[in-house]
Amino acid sequence: MSKKGENIYKRKDGRWEARYIRGYGDNGAPKYGYCYAKTYGLVKEKQTALKAEVLAGNLAVPNKKCPFSQLCQEWLTMKRGGVKESTYVKYEITVQNHIIPKLGGYPMSELSSARIAVFGRELCDKDRLSPKTVRDILVVLNAIIKYASKETGTGIAPQMIYPRSEYREMRVLSVQEQKALTAYLLKNTDNYKFGALLALHTGMRIGEICALRWKNVSLSERCITVDSTMQRLKNTELSGAKTIIFTSAPKSAASIRCIPIGNTAVALLKRFYVRNPDAYVLTGNAERFIEPRTLQNHMTKYAKELGLFGVHFHSLRHSFATRCIEVGFDIKSLSEILGHAGVQITLERYVHSSMELKRANMEKLSVIGF
């Protein structure tokens, strides 16, 4: 049902849909555009902005021969405000750097399955992008084509052929390597080593650690509340630096969580504790923070000095998960501590069985005579 006669509807999937007149056909019949958002307020805001664009003459009624680049830009306009800023920036980079340069000049009617397949192969073979990156680009392209097909009335739905991702085992520290790294980090521990130790003892993501403030830490209740993340993204404004730091909610609702902390982590946090609740945990200052890229660079230096080949900051999160499995964590608890939407993600990506654990399990067979 339309809300307040404004051509705004709540869909069955929970999102809000708004309709607006983009123009009129030769017979005088109105041609409609559509936009979507998670809330009534957001979709109303987008509808108002799009109506203003129509009045200013910036949004022409698309036809089957309009360049695909125009439809890409309109899709971005529709998405802005309905997704997180970090998500929008990734959409924009994907569209501007990959989709428009290769497909933007074609009319919608020429986006065949064969042409999309060639586009995908070029991304893999010519641009040397990883299968995951190519897959992400094709997912965005598919969403734009669905939007454009509805807007132009072409009904085009080319087949998407997604590249098969090669499974690569994440580099996880062995028990001996982790002990060596821990000893190294505990010697002359500074803010950067402190961040690495937090990752080893909590499994937090690098952006979550950089965004963590002391108001999120309760030493009395022995827990850390994760409710934000930090990342450097492209600046979408016309002026200023090319990239800026964004602090926002974590990547998913499940990532907002409370992590219980053990004795070692509590002792570590007490060493760096400051009374200001707004201060960043890593710096002890409310105005100064350590950004993820800087923390990653320091971790790379630590790994090089210790001869830990292939180890980067995210390896600490995987190593934490592996140690949890080795001491008998149940998967559900571990999944919630890591902030995963479901246990399947934990099982597929974060459960790494060490050779020591495999040998221990094989030894259990001797109990039954094998």
Report CA dihedral (361, 364, 368, 370) to the nearest 10 degrees. 60
Q: Are residues 195 and 163 in the same domain?
A: no
Q: Are residues 211 and 104 in the same domain?
A: no
Residue 155 placed within a domain: yes
Residues of the chain with pLDDT under 70: 1-5, 24-29, 57-65, 165-168, 236-240, 352-362, 364-370
Identify the domain containing residue 2 by its residue range. 1-57
| 230 and 338, same domain (yes or no) | yes
Q: What is the DSSP annotation of 140-190? A: HHHHHHHHHHHHHT----PPP-PPPPPP-PPP---HHHHHHHHHHHHTT--
Domain CATH code at residue 150: 1.10.150.130
Counting the structural domains of the chain, the total is 3
**Residue type at 211 in one-letter notation:** A
Question: Is 344 found in the same domain as 197?
Answer: yes
pLDDT of residue 25: 61
Residue 368 forms part of a structural domain: no
Q: Which of 168, 183, 217 lies at the terminal end of a domain, its last residue?
A: 168
CB 242 within 8 A of CB 205: no
Residues 14 and 72 in one domain: no
Question: How many C-alpha atoms does 246 have within 13 Å on its Cβ side?
Answer: 19
Give the E-state strand segments of the chain in sequence order.
8-10, 16-24, 30-37, 217-218, 223-226, 229-234, 243-248, 257-260
* Together in a domain, 160 and 194: no
Q: 148, 168, 188 — which closes off a domain?
A: 168
Identify whether residues 206 and 341 lie together within a single domain: yes
What's the confidence (pLDDT) of residue 327? 86
Kindly state whether residues 208 and 281 are assigned to the same domain: yes
**Res 157: pLDDT:** 82
CATH of the domain at 250: 1.10.443.10
Predicted confidence at residue 63, as pLDDT, reads 56
Residue 369 located in a structural domain: no
CA distance 132 to 182: 32
Domain closes at, from 120, 141, 168: 168
Residues 158 and 131 in one domain: yes
pLDDT at res. 200: 95
Domain-embedded: residue 370? no
DSSP string covering 321-337, please? HHHHHHTT--HHHHHHH
Residue 146 shares a structural domain with residue 282: no
124 and 218 assigned to the same domain: no
Q: How far apart are CA 181 and CA 228, in angstroms?
A: 27
Q: Do 253 and 319 contact (CB within 8 A), yes or no? A: no
pLDDT at 55: 75
